[in-house]
Structure 1
Amino acid sequence: MSVLPLVFTSGWASGINAYAAVLLLGLFGATGLSDDVPAAMQRPEVLIVAGVLFLCEAVADKIPYVDSVWDSVHTVIRPVAGAWVGALLAGQSGSLSEVAAGVIGGSTALASHTVKAGTRMAVNTSPEPFSNVVVSLAEDLGVGGIVTFSMFHPVAAAIVAGVLLATGLVVVCFLVSRIRRFRRRRAERRERKRALAEWPPQEPPPA
């Protein structure tokens, strides 16, 4: 069977939470629940590093504005992780070119990362901090659920991931205007504070 659905799903998951995707796939392979996971992802050091970084992301991802900084740092890391996982999966199965799998995994991860980062920027415009926690938990559960589902029903999981990706891209397009308005208001507030700090205006020195 073609590994393409698993490559696509793992790419989507990597764009949301690369460390969770690598950790879950590695655990499924190490426990013998899946024969599609390459040995490189099952190595103890890979699992330990992925687990530690997942815990770091689990904390940073739930703090307003820290999550956006974290997303900025991972703009390169997540697509690279998606490409790496895709290439490894293709090399394991032999049913898809490693280069093609890397491109599919990396581009899918970049698209889902864009959705995640754009959504978080919009969520950060909310005055309360709880929405960040809710969204982060939903992302973690979504990645865990779909990666697990893909181990047993790869085609169905890929369809679900595709629907979520398409829906997310549409939502982000609508959220762009909100993000721009928020940034404009924040810039206006900074200007007002600067003007108040300089009030009253200084009189020019006598000639």
Structure 2
Amino acid sequence: MPDPVPEAFDHEQHGGFPVYEPARPSPGFADFLTGMRRLQDLAVSADPDTDTWARAAAGVAELVRMLEPFAVAEGVGPAGRVPELPGAGHLLMPPWRVVRFEPDGVELAVTFSRYHVGGNYAVHGGVLPLLFDSVFGMVIHAAGRPISRTAYLHVDYRKVTPIDVELTATGRITEEQGRKAFVTAELRDPDGNLLAEANGLMLRLLPGQP
């Protein structure tokens, strides 16, 4: 029998997962992210001479020295906590933006770049589960369910996913059983072609569960 779920979820009581509030960093953070995303693209596509590599390495080392004194714990810095920025301001995430965020489903616009290429200018297959897992989390939040962990995530690849094209990712809950929420998601190109689809199970955390 499914575990009972309260009629009204208390988002302050969702296992041992911290509650992270949106961040409002200075405009410089958005500029920094834009530069870092471009740097990621160049890091996997540039082929300069030996001296340029050495100077680039020195520049990166200087940037590390500049930022290292300001390292903070998870959930304190702005990364991942700025909803209005691409990928919520987290460089790990593909640069998506939210188009629709409703209880019956979510929609994202996402554009992959050279950094995400696995081969032959196609998006690496391992990047798509990362996108879908993010979509699943948003679906849970939009539906008003408490914080949940991904119990499983299955991806079917239908067509090659291109870079430098704005794609559409959608997701929704298909069934709810107590702590369980079964979810599905799709990724489509501008012509509506299905590139990949996913289904998964999101499990509500127990009290104290990390």
State the TM-score, normalized to the length of structure 2. Answer: 0.24
Larger Rg over CA atoms: 1
Which has the larger helix fraction?
A: 1
Which has the larger strand fraction?
A: 2
Q: Which structure exhibits the higher relative contact order, with contacts defined as CA atoms closer than 8 Å and separated by 6 or more residues? A: 1
